Amino acid sequence: MAMINTAGREQEFVRSLGAFEEIYWRFSQSGPRGFAYAMEVDGRTSINSWRDALDALQQSQPLFSVSIDTIAGGIPFFRRVDNAPIPLRVVEEHAGGSWQAEMARELYTPFSGNETPLLRGVLVRRPDRSVFIICAHHSISDGMSMSAAMCDLFRALTGDALDRHPLLPALEEQLGIARAPLRTPLPETLPAGPPVAFRGPDPAPPEISNLALSANLTCTLAERARIERTTVHGALCSAVLHAGRSLSAEWQEKPVRIFSNIDCRKEAGVGRASAMYFGAGILSVEAAALHDFWVTARRFTTALASQKSREALQGAAMAMTDAVVRGMDVQATLDFLANGLSFEAIISNIGRIGFDGGTKDLTLRSIWGSAFLTGVVDEQIIGIGTLNGHLNMLYTSYTPMKGFLAKVEALLRVACGH
């Protein structure tokens, strides 16, 4: 493996970017497109202990020490750079502000693909509790793997040693899609709809808010979803749709497209090492549809089932691969995404976070995410994950609907008979 030394830093070629990673790398050149997670930790910690844990996390993840470079023809690849620690910014909570504001600030700060590493950390401290935020370039990670990385970070904070994760190949390779021009028409993988418009440069960070469902409501929601022959995610999609239509006159008058992130790791046969392994499921609900809450939930679950199939994921991977092979610049990338991934709201739901750890001195209270920006006009981004029996919702938008999360919770309570 070829290696060079620049300013005392060892650098090496890791692998070429896959089609989806390349699309997001080009997309990120149009504005702030990183994503962020936060975790709350109860107990006394020191800045040095967080620094050591962050260094251990970086060493455990192959893509946490890379930049993106190009070779002849402009083909991008990951380049490993040693001795480039993850930047850590420390904020004392008593200085004012909030962790939500710090997360918004990180989202507002774009990543340059040629910087190393492609993630940053923020520690918001008070004597008996800390909130740690990681913001990353999407080409190196996704919600499932970043939530797992946050759990690893907590384990390192408590003194556990972290295993080295494997370097994952690109998603398209794992799905059996060759990087070659296609000569046959592509299958329709997503419902058609009018293209979205992208905002111009934003003058300030977005607004971020959060809300946790009680353990009782979280448990009842899962039980009721089973009885109704749907899923918790289907119920959440229904709640987001109904909440938006109750708060937005515009949503009442047009079809609303709800975009759900799809975890591709099971179909691709890979674990939780950090890499970009998600797809998209989109359902457009017509303006005249005034269905019962659980009827709507089942409609989402049925639609997403077909979009999660290996055939559908391969179709999307083929479309992205073909677009990249034919040649894309930043504007072509925006046009591709505006037409192929149009939406009014995105629900990024990582489900139940498998975590079993902690000490008598430190407790992982909650994980919040994902927060991100696509640059789409009026985008509504809802990140969801369940930890310690609580379903946590994180809401990011430049045009937030007042009382949105509270309305989602109220609809869930009524639907569950609370």
Show pLDDT as tens, one digit a residue, over the chain (418 residues). Answer: 343 344 444 569 999 999 999 999 999 999 999 999 999 999 999 999 999 999 999 999 999 999 999 987 788 999 999 999 999 999 987 766 799 999 999 999 999 878 899 999 999 998 899 999 999 999 999 999 999 999 999 999 999 999 999 999 999 999 999 876 554 454 455 555 688 999 999 999 999 999 999 999 999 999 999 999 999 999 999 999 999 999 999 999 999 999 999 999 999 999 999 999 999 999 999 987 667 999 999 999 999 999 999 999 999 999 999 999 888 999 999 999 998 778 999 999 999 999 988 889 999 999 999 999 999 999 999 999 999 999 999 999 999 999 999 999 999 999 999 8
The 10s digit of each residue's pLDDT in 208-250 is 999 999 999 999 999 999 999 999 999 999 999 999 999 999 9
pTM of this structure: 0.94
Establish whether domains 11-172 and 207-415 are of one fold: yes
- Give the list of residues 6+ apart from residue 180 with CB closer than 8 angstroms, or none: 321, 325
Residue 293: which residues within 8 A CB-CB, separation 6 or more?
235, 238, 239, 242, 411, 414, 415
Q: Which residues contact residue 209 at a Cβ distance below 8 angstroms, ignoring those fewer than 6 apart?
A: 100, 394, 395, 400, 405
The tokens 């006009």 sit on which residue?
377
Q: For 248, which DSSP code?
A: -
Residue ranges covered by each domain of the chain: 11-172, 207-415
pLDDT at residue number 287: 86
Domain range 11-172, CATH architecture: 2-Layer Sandwich (3.30)
Helix-strand-coil percent breakdown of the chain, rounded to 5?
40, 25, 35
Query: Which residues, 6+ apart, have CB-to-CB distance to 223 below 8 Å?
Result: none
Taking domain 207-415, whether its CATH number is 3.30.559.30 is answered by yes
Q: Is residue 351 within 8 Å of 260, Cβ to Cβ? A: no
Beta carbons of 318 and 18 less than 8 angstroms apart = no
* Alpha carbon of residue 409 to chain centroid: 22
